[in-house]
Structure 1
């Protein structure tokens, strides 16, 4: 092969290599663009649902919070500035006290009972056979309708109901669970905790399954007792699951109002069970004050957001201290 032929072959080989390199460099962005388009195609239905049923209603509620509207004609939305907020936060308003106070007490009580109960139940299930069956049993109240749960517990709370019947057999006088202003709110909070404990049990049992058993074996070799093992090993390693349970349960407790509607009469007796979500419902659908209801919703949103941030901060602070 002559020198000119060799130079020609080298040039052709170099051109082919350059072409292949160019094609590969061009093919990578094309593949990435295709993956990106596929990802957006799969995300579009969820994003559309999120925009239509969450973002748009939230934006509309934010507009109504600074306006007055009777709920029928969109052309009659009148901007009033901070009037709605000044009205619901004024000293003469019942929104701060007792409504917001009832809401916080209701959420704290329900979350505390549900979380403690879920930890105990999850710990017991983790030691039993047929764990899937027991998890399903405790999850049943979650899939039941709130109306059915509220009516069943309402009958159980009656003066001639099951609970008072058992108390009477023990020599205790009947208790007005839903008629006594001092007991009505805790009584409904018990039902809220009972109805929501199933989700917490599922999450906490999954968290317990994720704990390495070698920690417990080492603790047993060191002679640690059951309670100290629970405090020193189970709770710290269960912190992520507990954080998720506390946040979701607290948000659900602050937003709960269906049980109030079913089990009480307009948040009674004497407004003792009236909570923020129920008051919003009444202002909007009963009195037609959509601006007032939206302002209450914005205030409740800020409270939920701040409480969630505080919970995350406390959890992160605890994680840093124990690390």
Structure 2
């Protein structure tokens, strides 16, 4: 009797891991089943187009019949990276200036706005107010600012009242790119403000109370407490803002039409759009996309590396 009971207990203990593995297997299948719509969408609209773009970057194709697809090797990359062409200078230079300028303005402005909102009453109202440009369409934002930038627009009217001559914000090649950069930064502040205000709310108040007891002023608390503890949210904002700046071209189309004057506002994404859909040079456009992808990846990895190094130094 005792031997039979011991055998049943041993069999039950031996069967338990097998049942556990079977249950985990069924749970895994159920998880993949629920994820299958998202995975299918990801493969159809992201993975397959990315692979096709890589193929096109090494091919010569007019964009209509796949039977005309011809292998071109690295010739597209040679044309794109040639210093005699227009992609490296001024298009790539304009892209980097536009991205870095918008990132600096948007990040600085969002930190300032989020810090002020965190110390105001009716914080929900102010967050919604600053988030409204994110909800608005690029066409609406571009057209409103385009009217404000006109020689008879609001901004020049204010400058004339102050005794300053009218400025050709969108017609002068010296002012066109900075003018569009300011608009892009203004339109992207709202999303960054929401992220940074959430990061500010996560900072414990006891740090500020201890610093106040030690006699620290507002600037010392901001520089020594707020910014270090806000680093994860700030890093996310920097990366997303920079990627958005490098990929932006809709605002360029709305405000300048053709990247003018004299290619002053022509950026990489807009040039890719023109090469593919206007001139039918899909191979060259895909090569530009690959070059831009490598630049975005390199800068993102550099930002992550710098943030990790600073985190190790301060820890």
Tell me the TM-score range normalised by the shorter chain.
Answer: over 0.9
Normalized against structure 2, the TM-score is what? Answer: 0.98
How far off its partner does 1:18 sit?
2.3
SS at match of 1:194: helix
Give the distance between the partners of 2:263 and 2:16, measured in 1 at CA: 72
Return the alpha-carbon distance in structure 2 between the equivalents of residues 37 and 164 of structure 1.
63
Residue in 1 aligned with 2:173? Answer: 181
Structure 2 regions of 5+ residues with no counterpart? none
User: How do 1:1-323 residues align onto structure 2 when only pairs under 5 Å count?
Assistant: 9-323=1-315
How many residues align? The count is 315
Secondary structure at the aligned position of 1:33 is classed as: helix
Shift of 1:120: 0.6
User: Matches of 2:11 and 2:122 in 1, distance apart?
Assistant: 63
Tell me how far 1:19 sits from its aligned partner: 3.2
Counterpart-to-counterpart distance in 2, 1:243 and 1:33:
38
Unaligned runs of 5+ in 1: 1-8
- Paired with 1:264 and 1:222, the residues of 2 have a C-alpha distance of 54
Distance, in Å, in 2 between the alignment partners of 1:228 and 1:14 is 71
Q: CA RMSD in A?
A: 0.9
In structure 2, distance between residues paired with 1:32 and 1:106: 50
| CA deviation after TM superposition for structure 1 residue 22, in Å | 3.0
Q: Which residue of 2 aligns with 1:3?
A: none
**Distance across 2 between alignment mates of 1:262 and 1:136:** 25
| TM-score with structure 1 setting the length | 0.96
Give 4+ residue runs of structure 1 displaced > 4 Å after superposition: none
Give distance in 1, aligned partners of 2:289 and 2:17: 53
Displacement of 1:167 in angstroms is 1.3
Say which one has the larger Rg: 1
3-state secondary structure, aligned to 1:233: helix
